[in-house]
Structure 1
């Protein structure tokens, strides 16, 4: 798979994840099934989901810059650092999802592993 294709796939998947987080915010999906079942109340859910949406928007911006879809607002070296950080986060999140309390959260293991794999494709040295 080429880097450009991996970027497009990630952009679509992250857009779907943002919609998922919005569904949690508006109570279409119960927050008790997310964050490993650790959220205690609606206030915590609002904070966690809002931060999650903002972080996903940062990832989208980095991918749009990396794919040359938008004019770079950050140096490409900074974009690469951001993407490597996300790669690490997705690797760790894959492990976290594997030990989550709910089966719903455990099911996201495949998605986070896919994100890590796609970022690996995007960041490989031979894609430069």
Structure 2
């Protein structure tokens, strides 16, 4: 069985996260309706703009940290800080997977697979340094 390298896992995660940012941008510009996201709990355009903007910023930060971890860009954080941040993201993806499984819409339930893949790839990346 072929093992996935941490570098390959980082590249896959950057691609997935870039696609997620694009998805959130489509929601932000109202091409995709926001009532199928966030567990169906957003009640207004104002809430959607806040949630989607924060999501895009967090995903951008996530890519920034991944690129540092893979030495694709110069490090702004220490190796220990990067590892800690990525373990936090791992925990968030595990929790997000559980949240997606109980989401109000089937569309969002489908994202449980994607968040689980994210957690698995982060596991590979984080464990490679131990």
Into which bin does the TM-score normalised by the smaller protein fall?
over 0.9
> Are 2:66 and 1:63 equivalent residues in the alignment?
yes
TM normalised by structure 1 equals: 0.97
Number of residues of Structure 1 aligned to a counterpart in Structure 2: 127
Q: Which runs of 4+ in 1 moved over 2 A?
A: none
> Gaps (5+ residues) in structure 2?
none
Report how far residue 127 of structure 1 moved: 4.2
Per-residue CA distance 1:55-108 (angstroms, 9 max, x = gap): 001110110000000000111111111100000000000000000000011010
RMSD: 0.8
Per-residue CA distance 1:15-52 (angstroms, 9 max, x = gap): 00000000000001000000000000000000000000
TM normalised by structure 2 equals: 0.96
> How far apart, CA to CA, are the structure 2 residues paired with 1:28 and 1:64?
29
Give the corresponding residue for 1:37: 40
Give the corresponding residue for 1:101: 104
> How far apart, CA to CA, are the structure 2 residues paired with 1:79 and 1:64?
10
